[in-house]
Amino acid sequence: MRAELQAETEAERLERRAKLHELLHRLRGEPNVLLPFHQALALRPKGEHPLGLRTIEVDKVVGSVDRYEDFDHHFLPKTPHTLERWKRLRALQLSGVEFPPIEVYQVGEAYFVKDGNHRVALAKATGQKYIDAYVIALDVPVPVGAKDTLKDLILKAEYANFLEKTRLKELVPEAEDILFSTLGRYDILLDHIATRRYFKGLEEGREVPWEEAVVDWYQNLYRPTVEAIRRLGLLKNFPGRTEADLYLWVMDHRYFLARELGVDLSPEEAARSYEARFGPWWKRMGGGLKAWLRARWGK
């Protein structure tokens, strides 16, 4: 009876915490949900293999296979049924009952619960650091962290799709990760590669294989542009953005100059021109883009 009363008291506190978390997430405009496992499957895993019984960190359990709507981002119960189940388990735990290991999928550094969602919720609420689990590891082509958000997973799923379509890491093993801060950008990269392939075919009078176009795009367009962005230190002027974000902006700027002004710039020149036009105000003083173009092209 004493265990049940304590579990009841703790469940009431837990309910208040869950409501507070919900309010804070709404005020911040952030989703208050567990990561769904189907989003991890969108990362296009190449296979899976069992790791057996392991002791894993509770903080790295961030999602669920089929109960992600029953718990919030902190694994607190969101529904009366879920809270009632948590309360019963807590009473059993206080009475000395030991629970069996949970079952999880490991995706990078993160874990998704296959069986044992309420036991994880109990462990998190009581400050438990580790939990025993039967682990099945998925082999994913992009890294996943325990602090990744739903948006992060969606972005990485888009990247995994891009890697699958281009085979970039196979064709250019030294290729660095191409990461964006906003959704829907990898399709634009595929268009860049297709365009590069088309014009290269016209120039050389032959059908250019897709794989060759991928390598050519990365080595002669993407990488030189990113290297120029690094040399100029452009990224520090755009907080929260990535090198891939700036690559697209520089390429849009390069296309504008080619179409409107008839100026065909190299990746390095395009990056410098972009800085002159959109960089910090002190770098735009002294004539900005027009002065630069006049000096470079006599326009």
- Residue-wise pLDDT for 131-185, tens only, equals 999 999 999 999 889 889 889 999 999 999 999 999 999 999 999 999 999 999 9
Distances 6 to 59, 195, 258 between C-alpha atoms, Å: 25, 66, 72
Instruction: Note whether 127 and 256 are same-domain residues.
Output: no
Give a yes or no: residue 68 inside a domain: yes
Partnered with residue 63 across adjacent β-strands are 35, 112
Please indicate, yes or no, whether residues 109 and 183 belong to a single structural domain of this protein.
no
Q: Are residues 175 and 235 in the same domain?
A: yes
Share above pLDDT 90 across residues of the chain, in percent, rounded to a whole number: 61
* CA nearest neighbour of 175 among 111, 227, 115, 223: 223
| Average pLDDT of the chain, as a whole number | 88
Q: Return all residues near 149 (Cβ < 8 A) that are at least 6 apart.
A: 31, 35
Do residues 259 and 183 share a domain? yes
User: Does residue 196 share a domain with residue 131?
Assistant: no
Q: What average pLDDT does range 23-37 have in this prediction?
A: 83
What pLDDT does 28 receive? 80
What is the rounded distance in angstroms from the CA atom of residue 1 to the CA atom of residue 4? 5
pLDDT at 7 over 60: yes
Quick one: pLDDT at residue 29? Answer: 77
CATH number at residue 87: 3.90.1530.10
- Are 8 and 126 contained in the same domain? yes
Range in 123-127, 152-156, 251-255 the model is least confident about: 251-255
Residues 230 and 120 in one domain: no
d(CA 87, CA 211): 57
* pLDDT tens digits, one per residue of 261-297: 777 778 888 888 887 777 665 455 544 555 555 545 5
For residues 288 and 106, give the distance between their C-alpha atoms in angstroms, rounded to a whole number: 51
Amino acid, single-letter form, for residue 138: L
- Residue 162: inside a domain, yes or no? no
Asked whether residue 59 falls in the same domain as residue 129, the answer is yes
Structural domain including 99 reads: 2-139
**Same-domain status, 125 and 180:** no
User: What's the average model confidence in pLDDT over 14-39?
Assistant: 84
In a domain, 38, yes or no: yes
Whole-number Å distance between alpha carbons of 200 and 158: 27
What pLDDT is attached to residue 248? 94
Torsion angle of the four alpha carbons 56, 62, 67, 71, in this order, in degrees rounded to the nearest 10: 120
Collect contacts of 10-13 with beta carbons under 8 A, ≥24 apart.
Answer: 10/87, 10/90, 10/125, 11/83, 11/84, 11/86, 11/87, 11/90
Q: Are residues 204 and 277 in the same domain?
A: yes
Are 16 and 127 contained in the same domain? yes
